[in-house]
Amino acid sequence: MPVNRRDFLAASGWALAAGIADAGPPGEAAAGAGDLSSWAAVRAQFNLSPEWLHFSQFFIVSHPRPVREAIERYRRLLDASPFETVEHGMGFDAPPAGASAADTLPLRAQRAAAEYIGGRAEEVALTDCTTTGLALTYNGLALKAGDEILATSHEHFVHHEAIRLACERSGASSRRVSLYDAPQTASVDEMAERLRRAIGPRTRVVALTWVHSSSGVKLPIQTLAGVVREANRNRDAADRALLVLDAVHGFGNQDLDLAASGADFAAAGTHKWIFAPRGTGILWAPARNWPLLRPTIPSFCAPEVFAAWEDGRSPGATAQASWVSPGGFKAYEHQWAMADAFRFHRRIGRRRIAERIAALNTLCKDGLARIPGVTVLTPRDAGLSAGIICFEIAGRSPQAIVAGLRERRVVASTSPYRQSVARLAPSLVNDEREVEAALRAVRAIA
Q: What is the pLDDT of residues 275-304, one digit of tens each?
A: 999 999 999 999 999 999 999 999 999 888
Please check whether residues 90 and 150 belong to one and the same domain.
no
Please check whether residues 343 and 354 belong to one and the same domain.
no
**pLDDT exceeds 60 at position 31:** no
Phi, psi of 149 (to 5 degrees): -105, 120
Please check whether residues 101 and 232 belong to one and the same domain.
no
Structural domain ending residue among the three candidates 348, 373, 408: 348
Residue 312: CA atoms inside 13 Å, Cβ hemisphere, count?
Answer: 0
Please check whether residues 343 and 356 belong to one and the same domain.
no
228 or 7, higher pLDDT: 228
- Is 1 part of a structural domain of the chain? no
Question: What pLDDT shows up at residue 317?
Answer: 65
What is the band of 101 on the pLDDT scale with cuts at 50, 70, 90? Answer: low
Structural domain ending residue among the three candidates 348, 363, 389: 348
Question: What pLDDT shows up at residue 97?
Answer: 55
DSSP label at 11?
H
Average pLDDT of the segment spanning 313-321: 84
Segments of 65-217 assigned E as strands: 124-127, 148-152, 173-177, 203-209
CA distance 354 to 387: 9
Please check whether residues 314 and 406 belong to one and the same domain.
no
* Contact assessment for residue 209 and residue 246, using Cβ atoms and an 8 Å cutoff: yes
Residue 415 sits at the vertex; the CA angle it makes with 414 and 419, to the nearest 5 degrees, is 110
Residue 188: Cβ within 10 Å count: 14
CA distance 290 to 136: 12
CA distance 315 to 39: 49
Please check whether residues 196 and 248 belong to one and the same domain.
yes
Question: What pLDDT shows up at residue 247?
Answer: 98
- CATH number of the domain encompassing residue 426: 3.90.1150.10
Question: What pLDDT shows up at residue 20?
Answer: 24
Please check whether residues 193 and 224 belong to one and the same domain.
yes
- Is 41 part of a structural domain of the chain? no
Give me the domain span that covers residue 253.
130-270
Segments of 46-116 assigned E as strands: 53-54
- Is 166 part of a structural domain of the chain? yes
Please check whether residues 219 and 341 belong to one and the same domain.
no
Please check whether residues 354 and 371 belong to one and the same domain.
yes
* Contact assessment for residue 322 and residue 299, using Cβ atoms and an 8 Å cutoff: yes
pTM of the model: 0.91
Please check whether residues 228 and 251 belong to one and the same domain.
yes
**pLDDT exceeds 70 at position 242:** yes
- Report the number of distinct structural domains present in the chain: 3
Concatenated DSSP letters of 158-201: HHHHHHHHHHHHH--EEEEE-S-SSGGG--HHHHHHHHHHH--T
**pLDDT exceeds 90 at position 15:** no
Question: What pLDDT shows up at residue 34?
Answer: 77
CA distances to 35, 77, 81, 103, 298 from 25, in Å:
21, 11, 16, 13, 28
- CATH number of the domain encompassing residue 155: 3.40.640.10
**pLDDT exceeds 60 at position 165:** yes
What is the band of 318 on the pLDDT scale with cuts at 50, 70, 90? Answer: confident
- Is 82 part of a structural domain of the chain? yes
* Contact assessment for residue 251 and residue 258, using Cβ atoms and an 8 Å cutoff: yes
Question: What pLDDT shows up at residue 4?
Answer: 47
- Is 325 part of a structural domain of the chain? yes
